[in-house]
Amino acid sequence: MRYSYFPGCSMESTAKSYRLATEYVMGRIGVELVEIEDWNCCGATSAHTLSAAMGLALPARPLAMAELREPGLDIVTGCASCYARLRLSMHKARSDKAAKYLIENVIAMPYEAKREVYSFLDVLSGEEAAAAIKAKVTRRLTGLKAACYYGCLNVRPAEVTGAPDRENPMAMDRIVGLTGAEAVDWAFKTECCGAAHQNDAASVSRPLVWRILKNAQANGAEAVVTACPMCSLNLEMRQGGYRKHTGLPSMPVFSVLELLAVAMGASARQIALEAHHVPAAKALAAALRRSGGGVAI
């Protein structure tokens, strides 16, 4: 299992625990991530808002570089927003000749879109990876009730992502299940968290986060699990108002990779759990205690 890897800007900064957990888990289960040389930002929401050409070209450049350097490898990214932008460029280059021409002119190199763009969820839910995970889980997170949050961009739009179920996806739930934790059934798996507008329209975007957290808690979740550093950051960092507005306790937010890492034996320090805005280690420690291991994390 070898992939060209597009980390995305958040992985380099705010998603410190996510990054460390990714390195830990992928190493353990034998997924080799070949970081795309000199990758650039995918442009996120701003680039395509300003210009269609920029929105298509920014993600296409690292894809084209990956295909040039490692023509045999598919591309993987751990960020839902990057995933959506990369996949859209791939999709457009394949299906729309004019778009392909535009992209190649702007990035000044050929881009054939021969390789697929995958998310971590795609990779981890593959048969081989799932078997490897099962083999490497050494301590179970028994009874940890987690709400898997996929976000919008991992699943929509369907013709770009190819996701079979956009309302109640299950890939992450199954991965979480491998750690011994319990993925709860809840209703906001793919509702928008408003990350794109938390800077410029904060007052309307904050309640979106709160609604997601509230539904997770209403369905018995003790933690939210994500597959995206942007989702994680947004759901975690904007909890201040949540406590005030709902009177509910704050909610730890992990990436699915962190959960896997802990289940595979990583210590809190190894994956920098202390870096979370909302204290995260406690919930995991409690789950480990329940499993009877009594191992400190």
Helix, strand, coil percent values for the chain (each to nearest 5)? 50, 10, 40
Toward another protein, which CB reaches closer, 45 or 250? 45
Write out the E strands in 61-202: 75-77, 117-119, 145-149, 182-183
Q: Is 267 in the site for another protein (CB under 8 A)?
A: no
How far apart CA 18 and CA 229 sit, in angstroms, is 7
Q: Is 295 in the site for another protein (CB under 8 A)?
A: no
Q: Is 69 in the site for another protein (CB under 8 A)?
A: no
Residue 133-172 contact track with another protein, rule CB under 8 A, x = bound: -------------------xx--xxx------xxxx----
Kindly tell me which residue out of 1, 23, 46, 267 binds another protein, with binding defined by CB under 8 A: 46
Q: Is 243 in the site for another protein (CB under 8 A)?
A: no
**Which residues does 158 contact at the CB level (< 8 Å), separation at least 6?**
166
Q: Is 110 in the site for another protein (CB under 8 A)?
A: no
Nearest to 284 by CA among 266, 275, 207: 266
Q: Rounded to the nearest whole angstrom, what is the least distance from the CB of residue 101 to another protein in the complex?
A: 11
Q: Is 128 in the site for another protein (CB under 8 A)?
A: no
Q: Is 16 in the site for another protein (CB under 8 A)?
A: yes
Q: Which residue matches tokens 């950051």?
A: 233
Kindly tell me which residue out of 97, 274, 295, 296 binds another protein, with binding defined by CB under 8 A: 274
Nearest to 237 by CA among 215, 214, 209: 209
Toward another protein, which CB reaches closer, 158 or 295? 158
Kindly tell me which residue out of 3, 4, 5, 14 binds another protein, with binding defined by CB under 8 A: 14
Toward another protein, which CB reaches closer, 10 or 125? 10
Cis upstream peptide for 157 (omega within 30°)? yes
Toward another protein, which CB reaches closer, 65 or 76? 65
Q: Is 187 in the site for another protein (CB under 8 A)?
A: yes
- Amino acid identity of residue 180, one-letter, is G
Cβ density class 119-154: b for 16+ within 10 Å, e for less: bbbbbbbeeebeebbeebbebbbbebbbbbbbbbbb
Q: What number of helices (H) and strands (E) belong to the chain?
A: 15, 8
Half-sphere exposure of 227 (CA within 13 A, CB side): 32
Question: Interface with another protein by CB under 8 A: which residues?
Answer: 9-10, 12-14, 16, 38-41, 43-54, 57-58, 61, 102, 105-108, 152-153, 156-158, 165-168, 185, 187-188, 190-192, 194-205, 208, 214-215, 218-219, 237, 240, 272, 274-275, 277
